[in-house]
Amino acid sequence: SQQGEEDPQALSIQEGENATMNCSYKTSINNLQWYRQNSGRGLVHLILIRSNEREKHSGRLRVTLDTSKKSSSLLITASRAADTASYFCAPANAGGTSYGKLTFGQGTILTVHP
């Protein structure tokens, strides 16, 4: 399966601390995307990193990609209570009829305590 597998499954931190979530996948990708989901709500796209990129930033988010290790990480700096949510990585298939198809793992549940 191509789906991303996030680690840890749950993360609990204090406001102001940094949160790091990891993702591993199995086969070739075109890109890898990170999404956030607040409880009972839809998914919100956070950041997309292409297979030829190693690092990408967006505000307080920093994503890295290591295609040799088939892994990615999402770092949220200076976390806020509003960052409390589930975070999913979604590798996008590299080729064939499944090109660009996203598959999701179980996610990391992040809790930021005020």
Partner 1 sequence: DTGVSQNPRHKITKRGQNVTFRCDPISEHNRLYWYRQTLGQGPEFLTYFQNEAQLEKSRLLSDRFSAERPKGSFSTLEIQRTEQGDSAMYLCASSLVGLASNFGPGTRLLVL
44 counts as binding partner 1 under rule CB under 8 A: yes
Q: How many angstroms separate the CA atoms of 114 and 107, rounded?
A: 22
98 binds partner 1 (CB under 8 A): yes
- Is 10 an interacting residue with respect to partner 1 (CB under 8 A)? no
- Which residues, 78 to 97, sit near partner 1 by CB under 8 A? 88, 90, 92, 97
Quote the CA–CA distance of 27 and 76 in Å, as a whole number.
26
Q: Does 33 bind partner 1 (CB under 8 A)?
A: yes
Work out whether 31 is an interface residue with partner 1 (CB under 8 A). yes
